Structure formats: structure tokens, C-alpha cells
């Protein structure tokens, strides 16, 4: 089988025009946005041209189906609010190129998946979580983005494309290529990461409510200031989590909304995102207990009421050993001494698909380890090396049943 690296790179550069941010190669292509829908429709046409049958399901997941049973490859083409050109897109376009080249070579059969809302505009890896049965559609439809738009409203924008759920039994396994989104491969001058396992995640929204008041006449000791409560919570949380975590554990307050957000008003309410990740489910639960207890203590000390949203979560998952062995053998052949086994600190659709079939992932380096930013990038040599390793692994990958 002969992959065509020029065609592959051209598709990647064509895809990044949908929602181009105008800053470097960055993209703004959130799930269900006009740019996202246009990109998916373009990819559907590229799939058709590649001899695959393009099919959308009811939540915007796009599949390019080969005939009969096939190996599934892919990722996602939606982006973070400020996204890189390769996060997700690389896996979809690489899958398309491998599927095309494999058809041209007479097999093995490869289908392509482009999952919707992996970036969690309205949840956490939402499209593949629904497809895998982790997230009931009625619960997904009630999820909202930070502007209050619901999943149901968002996906209505693709209703004209919606079709039936694709049966996972069509597929023998799932392989996803993704940028590392961390620093280790690039710093080591290595080309390939073969993923051993993907960490688990917990995500919720916390609200603390005190008293809105005048910023000039309200003495400091009489305030019930929501920002001061958040600041105290963050300091206490960092101190307490340090006692139960490992260097791979992470926690993030990524979105904060202070009400009413005026210079001369003591903020009465703060709503903030609380997300944490770890490779061990027991430690995720211990982190959750510390987060909830610390929030309750700080709220009481600061005279705040406290509420938590529903919590979204995915468990840590190990990658399939046989699929991993196929990727490792191809990496040993093509980039000997320049590949490693590694854990994924980022979440991926493979987490959900692993519940349905054997799943594996392969990383290529991220320059400077940067991702979820317009400056995300990977050297084209590394993109092509990833394509060649995936192509070389294909016969063995397709043999795993």
C-alpha cells in the first residue's frame, strides 16, 4: 500500500481553512458552529471521493464507511474556542488517507470516524460518549455551553444531515492518531508515541453566592465577596490536593464568571469550572472528596452559599495490547530508537470507543508541547512519519479481531 503524503498534507491545509482564525494556523471551529458543519460536509465529500459512504448520525458524528467489516480510524474535527489546526483534524485526515490508499491497494477495509464535540463545548467528548452509550441522548440534549445554548439546540443546526446510529459491530477495532499536546516527544527528538492508557476525567461547575455590595462603602471585614472566596478556595485546594496526587495528576479552573463583573461592585456570585484528571479511578474519587470538602469549608468561612452542577466523568482506560503491538512494531521498523510508550494526559474519543471495541492511539510530537492554542504545530516531517507508521502497521492492525 502506498500512501500519498502530498494529498494528505493538502487535505490538512484545506481543512484548516474552515474556521481559520487568521493567527498562525489556528482555527476557531467549535462543535456545531457554521465552520464546523461546513468542515464536516467537506470531509463527507472527501470520504465519498475516497470510495467511502459518508453517513452522519443524529448528533453530528460523521462516518466514512467501507463495505463490510472494517477497521475504524479517526478522531474529531471540532476545535476548542481557540484551537490548533491539528488537534483532532490530524487523526481524521490521516484516517482518510490510509482508507483511500488501502482502497487503491485492494484492502484491508478501513472506515473513517469524525466524532462530534470531542472538545466538549457541550460536555466531555460528547459525540463519541453518546455513540458508545456512556451518555444518554436525553441527558446530552440538556447540556449547555457557557452561553447557555443546549446540545439539542446546537445539533438542530445539523438536522438536515442527521441519520441513524452506525452499528459498532461493523468495526473490528479503532485506531486514533493524535498530536501529543505535551512536550515529551518534541523535547526528546522522538517521532512517535504509542499510547498505553488514557487518563480519566471529572468535570463540573461550582457556584458560590455571597453578597453584592458597594466597593467603596463596604468594609473588608463585612464583605461576602465571591472572588475572595474563590481565591481562598484555590489556595486551600492546591495545598490539600498536593498530599494525595502524583506528578501526573492535574486539576484546572479554566472558566470563571464573576457577577456582576463591575469595577465598583463587590462580586456577589462566582461560577467556575472545576476539572481534574488522573490515571487512577480511586485517586479521582479522593480528589473529588477533597474538592467538595474544601469548597464547603471555604464557603462556610466566607458566608457563601455553595452549589455544584451535575458531574461529567470518564474512567481511565487501557489501550488494546494487540493493536499497540502492531503500532510498536511499525514504529520500531520505521523510526527505531525514536519512539516510546506513553500515557495520554489528554482525553480522546478512543476513551469512549474502547468500550465498544479494541482501541489504540498513536502520537506525533507537538512543537514546544503547545496545544489548545493558535500556535499549536507539528513539523510536516513528523506528520508524514506518523502517516507512514500508521500505513506500515495497517495489515497487523486490521488483523486484530
145 binds, among ligand HGY, Mn ion, none (CB under 5 to 8 A by kind): none
- Taking the complex as a whole, the smallest distance from the CB of residue 104 to Mn ion amounts, in Å, to 28
CA separation for the pair 265, 255 (Å, rounded): 20
Q: Shortest distance, CB of residue 227 to ligand HGY, whole angstroms?
A: 26
- Beta carbon nearer to ligand HGY, 76 or 302: 76
- Contacts with ligand HGY by CB under 6 A: the residue count is 5
* Phi, psi for 54 (deg, rounded to 5): -75, 130
For ligand HGY, the nearest residue by Cβ is 346
Q: Which is nearer to ligand HGY, 182 or 267 (CB)?
A: 182
d(Cα 166, Cα 164) in Å, to the nearest integer? 6
Distance CA 46, CA 100 (A): 10
Shortest Å, Cβ 302 to ligand HGY = 30
Closer Cβ to ligand HGY, 62 or 346, answer by number: 346
Residue 54 or 120 with smaller CB distance to ligand HGY: 120
Grid cell listed for 169: 459491530
Strand partners, 257: 271
Alpha carbons within 13 angstroms on the beta-carbon side of residue 61 total 26
Q: Is 127 in the site for Mn ion (CB under 5 A)?
A: no
User: Considering only residues 86, 130, 166, 347, which one is a binding residue for ligand HGY as defined by CB under 6 A?
Assistant: 347
The conformation of residue 228, written as its DSSP 8-state character, comes to H
Helix, strand or coil, per DSSP, at residue 282: helix
- Convert residues 143-182 into a mask of x (bound to ligand HGY by CB under 6 A) and - (unbound): ----------------------------------------
Closest to 83 (Cα-Cα) out of 114, 130, 120, 131: 120
Site for Mn ion contains 87 (CB under 5 A): yes
- For Mn ion, the binding residue among 30, 60, 88, 200 (CB under 5 A) is 88
**347 touches which of Mn ion, ligand HGY, none (CB within 5 to 8 A by kind)?**
ligand HGY
For residue 14 the three cell numbers come to 484545506
319 vs 347 by CB, closer to ligand HGY: 347
Torsional sign, CA 160, 121, 126, 323: positive
Task: Rule CB under 6 A: choose which of 93, 346, 361, 387 binds ligand HGY.
Answer: 346
Instruction: Tell which positions 110-139 bind ligand HGY, by CB under 6 A.
Output: 118-120
Which residues, in sequence order, are CB contacts of 16 under 8 Å at separation 6+? 25, 27, 85, 89
Burial 45-62 (b: 16+ CB within 10 A, else e): ebbeebebebbbbebbbb
C-beta of 172 vs 371, nearer to Mn ion: 371
Cα separation, 275 vs 80, whole angstroms: 16
| Nearer residue to ligand HGY within complex by CB, 120 or 316 | 120
Assess contact for 50 and 103: CB atoms under 8 A: yes
CA distance 164 to 325: 34
Interaction between residue 342 and ligand HGY (CB under 6 A): no
Count of positions on this chain that bind Mn ion (CB under 5 A): 2
Residue 190 interface partner, choices Mn ion, ligand HGY, none, CB cut-off 5-8 Å depending on type: none
Q: Which residues bind ligand HGY (CB under 6 A)?
A: 118-120, 346-347
Q: Which residues bind Mn ion (CB under 5 A)?
A: 87-88
Amino acid at each position: 500500500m502506498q500512501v500519498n503524503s502530498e494529498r494528505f498534507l493538502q487535505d490538512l491545509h484545506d481543512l484548516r481553512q474552515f474556521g481559520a482564525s487568521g493567527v498562525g494556523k489556528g482555527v476557531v471551529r467549535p462543535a456545531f458552529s457554521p465552520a464546523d458543519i461546513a468542515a464536516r460536509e467537506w470531509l463527507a465529500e472527501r470520504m465519498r471521493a475516497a470510495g467511502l459512504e459518508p453517513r452522519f448520525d443524529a448528533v453530528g458524528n460523521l462516518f466514512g464507511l467501507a463495505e463490510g467489516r472494517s477497521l475504524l480510524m479517526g478522531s474529531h474535527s471540532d476545535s476548542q474556542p481557540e484551537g490548533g489546526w491539528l488537534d483532532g483534524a490530524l487523526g481524521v485526515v490521516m484516517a482518510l488517507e490510509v482508507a483511500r490508499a488501502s482502497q487503491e491497494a485492494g484492502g484491508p477495509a478501513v472506515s473513517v470516524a469524525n466524532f462530534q464535540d470531542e472538545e466538549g463545548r457541550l460536555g466531555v467528548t460528547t459525540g463519541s460518549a453518546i455513540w458508545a452509550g456512556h451518555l444518554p441522548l436525553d441527558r446530552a440534549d440538556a447540556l449547555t455551553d457557557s452561553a447557555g445554548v443546549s446540545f439539542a439546540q446546537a445539533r438542530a443546526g445539523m438536522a438536515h444531515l442527521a441519520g441513524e446510529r452506525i452499528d459498532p459491530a461493523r468495526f473490528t477495532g479503532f485506531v486514533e492518531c493524535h498530536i501529543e499536546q505535551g512536550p515529551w516527544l518534541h523535547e526528546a527528538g522522538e517521532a512517535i508515541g504509542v499510547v498505553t492508557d488514557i487518563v480519566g476525567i471529572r468535570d463540573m461547575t461550582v457556584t458560590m453566592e455571597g453578597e453584592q455590595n458597594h466597593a467603596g462603602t463596604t468594609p473588608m471585614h463585612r464583605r461576602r465577596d465571591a472572588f475572595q472566596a474563590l481565591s481562598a478556595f484555590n489556595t486551600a485546594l492546591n495545598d490539600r490536593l498536593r498530599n494525595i496526587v502524583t506528578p501526573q495528576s492535574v486539576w484546572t479552573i479554566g472558566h470563571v464568571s464573576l457577577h456582576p463583573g463591575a469595577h465598583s461592585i463587590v462580586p456577589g456570585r462566582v461560577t467556575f469550572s472545576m476539572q481534574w484528571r488522573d490515571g487512577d479511578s480511586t485517586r479521582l474519587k479522593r480528589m473529588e472528596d477533597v474538592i467538595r470538602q474544601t469548597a464547603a469549608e471555604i464557603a462556610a468561612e466566607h458566608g457563601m452559599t455553595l452549589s455544584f452542577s451535575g458531574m461529567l466523568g470518564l474512567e481511565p482506560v487501557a489501550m488494546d495490547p494487540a493493536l499497540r503491538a502492531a503500532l510498536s512494531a511499525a514504529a520500531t521498523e520505521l523510526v527505531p530508537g525514536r519512539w516510546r510508550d506513553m500515557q495520554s494526559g489528554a482525553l480522546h474519543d478512543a476513551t469512549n470507543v474502547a468500550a465498544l471495541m479494541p482501541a489504540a492511539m498513536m502520537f506525533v510530537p507537538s512543537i514546544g508541547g503547545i496545544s489548545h492554542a493558535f500556535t499549536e504545530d507539528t513539523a510536516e516531517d513528523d506528520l508524514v512519519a506518523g502517516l507512514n507508521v500508521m500505513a506500515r502497521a495497517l495489515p497487523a492492525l486490521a488483523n486484530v479481531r
